[in-house]
Structure 1
Amino acid sequence: MKKNIFILLLTIILFISSYSFGQKPNISAQSAILMDKESGRILIEYNPYIRLPMASTTKIMTALIALERGNINDKIEIKKHYVGVEGSSIYLYEGEIISLEDLLYGLMLRSGNDAAIAIADYIGGNIEQFVFMMNQKAKIIGANNTNFVNPHGLHDDNHYTTAYDLALITKEAMNIEKFTEIVKSKMWKAHREKNNLFYNKNNTLWEYEGGDGVKIGYTIRAGRCLVSSATRNGRTIIAIVLNDRNWFNDCYNLLDYGFENFRNYVIFDRGQCLREIAVINGRKDFVSVVIKNLFTYPLKEEELDKVKIYIDLPNEILAPIEKNQVIGKARVYLDGVLIHEEDIISKEAVAKLGFFESLIKTINTKDKN
C-alpha cells in the first residue's frame, strides 16, 4: 500500500486568548517553573530540575492518591496516632468520626498534618503503603526526581522533588474535578462540632485574577514553597516556586508572563477534514479522513513560523474500513522538536464489495476503458 507524506506549514491559526509582549520576570526562588496545564508546555523555567525539599506542597500528591483510591463520603474513625502531629493541624481528636471529604479540605485549606496522617493510614492501610503509592504514582506520571517518605512534607533528607516534577503532579491532580473544587475553596465548614471552619491559606484566591489556589508550604529547611494556578479565558497556567522569600509576588509575576506572552492557538480541530483517500474493493471509491482530537498549544507570536505539521497518510486503503478507524498520523513540530502526535481517522465506514459486486465493478471498469 503506497504512502504519501506531506507537510502543512502553519499559516493561519485560530487563537483564544489575549497577547502582549513582556520581559522575563526576575524572581528570587531557588527553583521555579511556569507550565501550561493543558499542553504541559514549560513557558519559563529557573533551575527546574534540582532536587529540593517541598514542605506541605507534598499534600498535592496526598490528595491526588486519596481522590483516586478513596470515596469522599467514607467515614473515618480517628486513631490515637493521628492526633497531635507536629506542625499545622485541624485538631483531630481520638475517636472522632469524620468524612474523607472533610479531611481533604482540612488537608488542602488548613494544611493539616494530622489530616494527612489520617488520610494516608486509611487509604493505604498504613503510612508506609500509602507512601509507596505516592512514589509509584510519581513514576507513572514522569516525576522521576521525586521521593516521598511521608504524606505531609515535614522535613526528611530523603523527601524531595523538583519544580518540574511538582508541576507534573499538580497538572495530574488538577485533572480531577474534585481536587480543583477543593483548592479553589476559600472556606469550608466541616461536619464536626468544633474546629469546623477551614479558611484557605493560599492568598492567590484573593489577590490574583482567576486564581485557583492550589497549595502553600513552609519549613525552615525547605523555605517558602508555593504552587499557584490561575485560569483565564478557559486557559490554566501553573506557577511553582521553591525556597522563595517573595513567593506570592514571584508566582504572580510568572503567571502574568504566561498570560501576556502566549496565545493558546488551535493547531487543528476535532473532526477537521483533511482529504479523501481512494478505497480498494469498497462500496465507496473514497473515504474522508479527519483529525481525531482538538489540539491547542501556547505559542509566542514569533514562534508561529517555526511550527510545521506533518501529515502521514496512505494514497489508498483496502476495504472494509470501520468508522473512526485510524488511517494515519498528524505530527506537530515546533522548531524541529516534536510536540504532539494525533490520530487521523476515517469519517465513515466503507463496506467491502461482495464477490459478485466486485466482479461487476471490474467488468464495468474494463468496459469504460
Structure 2
Amino acid sequence: MKRFITIFAVFVITMGVSVHSAVHAVQQPDISAKTAVLISADTGEVVYAKNCTEKLPMASTTKIMTTLLCLESGGLYDEFVVDSNAIKVEGSSMGLQEGDIVTKYALCCGMLLPSGNDAANAAAVKIAGSIEKFAEMMNDRAHKLGLSKTYFVTPSGLEGEGHGSSAYDMAILAREALKNELFRDICSKESIKLEFGDPPYTRWLKNTNKLLGMYDGVYGVKTGFTDEAGRCLVSACKRDSKDLICVTLNDRNDWNDHMAIYDYGFDTVRELDVTLPTDITVDTVGGNTEKLHLVTKDSSVRICTVAGNENDIQFTLLSAPFIYAPVKYGEEAAKLRISFMGREVDTIPLYAAESVSAEKVPPKKKGLFTKIKEKLGSYFSR
C-alpha cells in the first residue's frame, strides 16, 4: 500500500510538472503576414522569423530611411520654401502646398506620423537636389548597413522598378534609426503640433500607427500601404530591459499579428546582465602621471538576448591615443563601445577616476651668451 501511494505521488508530481510546462510552453504565433521578423533591438538577434529574407515592396516604411537621412543632414530648424514640383505627388500627405515655409524637422514629423509622400519628396530635393540623387544616398547608406535585399528608388515608398526590401533588412534599418534620439521621439508620438504654411500657422498631425495605443510598451515605428505592397508595419516595443523590433510585410492583419509576435517574443527572450570592465586606462601627456584610470557610471548593463552570454560580448575603448593634462575627477574622458558578436549594442561614457594635474615645467637657465645679449639689448634701447 505504501509503495502504491509512493508511486501515485510521483505520478501526480510528474503529471503536475508536465501540465505546468504545457501551460507555459511558448508557442510560435500563427500570423497572416507573407514575411515577418522579430529581433532584439540590443543585439540584433532574430527571435522569430517567417520568410524574413524575402524581398518585397515595403511601401511607406521606406520613410524610415528618408527620415533618418533628413535628421542627420543638419539645419533641422532652418526655414525654407518647399520645392513646388516635389510636393505634387499622389497618396498620403502632410498637407503641403506651393509656397509653404517648413523646416526639415517638420518634414520628418510629416513623414513619420501622417506618412506624407509630399514631405518625403520635399526633404529629398532639399537635401540632395533631386529625388534620384537622394535615392543614391539611401542606397549608399543601405549598403553600409549591410542591407543586402534592399534597394530604394523613391524616398516615399511609392513603387519604382526594383524598389523593395526584406523584413529582416527593415528591422536592422529600424534598429539603426532608433539610435537617433530625435527619430525615436518623433515616431513615438500619437500626434504632434507643428507650424508650417504660407505664412506658417499651428496645426496638428496624427500618427497612422494605431499600435501605439493598442499594446503596452510600443514606441514606434512606421506604417505603410500600397496596392502592390499590401499592409506593411515596422514597430518597436520595450518592457523593462527587453527591447524588441517587429516587421511584417504584406499583412492584412498587422495590428494583431504584431501583438501576437510580441507576446511570443517577451516570453522567449531573456535579460542578460553584462559586467563592465574596471581596469580601463588611457595614456596621458603633460601630467603628473602617465596613465589615467577610467570608470563607467554603472558596474553593469542589462541587454535583451535570445541565447547570448557574456562570452559573446566585446568591449572597445574609443579614445584619442592620449589625453592632455589637466583632467578633473569625474570628467568624461572617453567612451566604451559594447558589442555582441561584432554588432554594436551600446556606447557609454567613461569618466576620469582621478584628477591629473598639469606638470609644471621649470624655466630654463640662461646661458652666458644670452645674458650678455639681453644686457647689450637693454643698453642700446635706452
Compute the TM-score of the two structures, normalised by the length of structure 1: 0.71
Q: 1:250 to 1:310 in 2, by over 3 A?
A: closer
Ranges of 4+ aligned residues in structure 1 off by more than 4 Å: 288-297, 306-311, 337-342
1 or 2 for the larger relative contact order (CA 8 Å, sep ≥6)? 1
Does residue 80 of structure 1 match 2:84?
Answer: yes
> What is the aligned partner in structure 2 of residue 120 from structure 1?
124
188-197 or 225-234, larger mean C-alpha shift: 188-197
Could you tell me whether the CA contact under 8 Å between 1:41 and 1:298 is conserved in 2?
no
Deviation at 1:235, TM superposition (A): 3.3
Letter of the structure 1 residue corresponding to residue 108 of structure 2: L
- 1:57 is the counterpart of 2:64: no
Task: Give the 3-state SS of the residue equivalent to 2:98 in structure 1.
Answer: coil
> Which residue of the partner structure matches residue 230 of structure 1?
237
Determine if the alignment matches structure 1 residue 213 to structure 2 residue 220: yes
Please name the residue that 1:298 is paired with: 304
Query: What CA distance in whole angstroms lies between the structure 2 residues aligned with 1:209 and 1:111?
Result: 23
Bigger radius of gyration: 2
CA positional deviation for 1:268: 2.8
- For 1:114 and 1:195, the matched residues in 2 are separated by 18
- The 3 A distance-change label for structure 1 pair 23 and 90 is same
**Are positions 1:30 and 2:37 aligned together?**
no
- Structure 2 unmatched ranges of 5 or more: 1-23, 281-292, 315-337, 355-382
Q: Aligned in 2, Cα 1:254/1:81: closer, same or farther, shift over 3 Å?
A: same
Deviation at 1:234, TM superposition (A): 3.6
Alignment of 1:121-160 (within 5 A): 121-160=125-164
Q: 1:243 to 1:289 in 2, by over 3 A?
A: same
Structure 1 vs Structure 2 CA RMSD = 3.8
Identity %: 37
Inter-CA distance 309–98: structure 2 relative to 1 (3 Å threshold) = closer
How far the C-alpha of 1:290 sits from its partner, in A, is 9.7
User: Counterpart in 1 of 2:246?
Assistant: 239
CA distance in 2, matches of 1:308, 1:93: 56
After superposition, the Cα gap between the structure-2 partners of 1:41 and 1:82, relative to the gap in structure 1 and judged at 3 Å, is same
Q: Structure 1 residues 339, 149: CA separation in 2 closer, same or farther (over 3 Å shift)?
A: closer
Cα 1:74–1:310 change in 2 (3 A) is: closer
1:161 aligns with 2:168: no
Matching residue of 1:16 = none
Aligned to 1:180: 184
CA contact (8 A) 2:272 2:305 kept: yes
CA contact (8 A) 1:31 1:163 kept: yes
CA distance in 1, matches of 2:262, 2:106: 30
Contact 2:242-2:303 within 8 A present in 1 as well: no
Is the CA contact 2:195–2:202 (under 8 Å) kept in the aligned structure 1?
Answer: no
Task: Please say which of residues 143-152 and 289-298 is displaced more in the overlay.
Answer: 289-298
In structure 2, relative to structure 1, the CA distance for the partners of 1:182 and 1:189 (3 Å cut) is same
Cα deviation per residue 1:249-272 (whole Å; 9 max; x = unaligned)? 111111122212211211332x34
TM-score, length of structure 2 as denominator length: 0.69
Distance in 1 (CA, whole Å) between partners of 2:126 and 2:342 is 42
Deviation at 1:113, TM superposition (A): 0.3
The answer as to whether partners of 2:243 and 2:304 remain within 8 angstroms in 1 is no
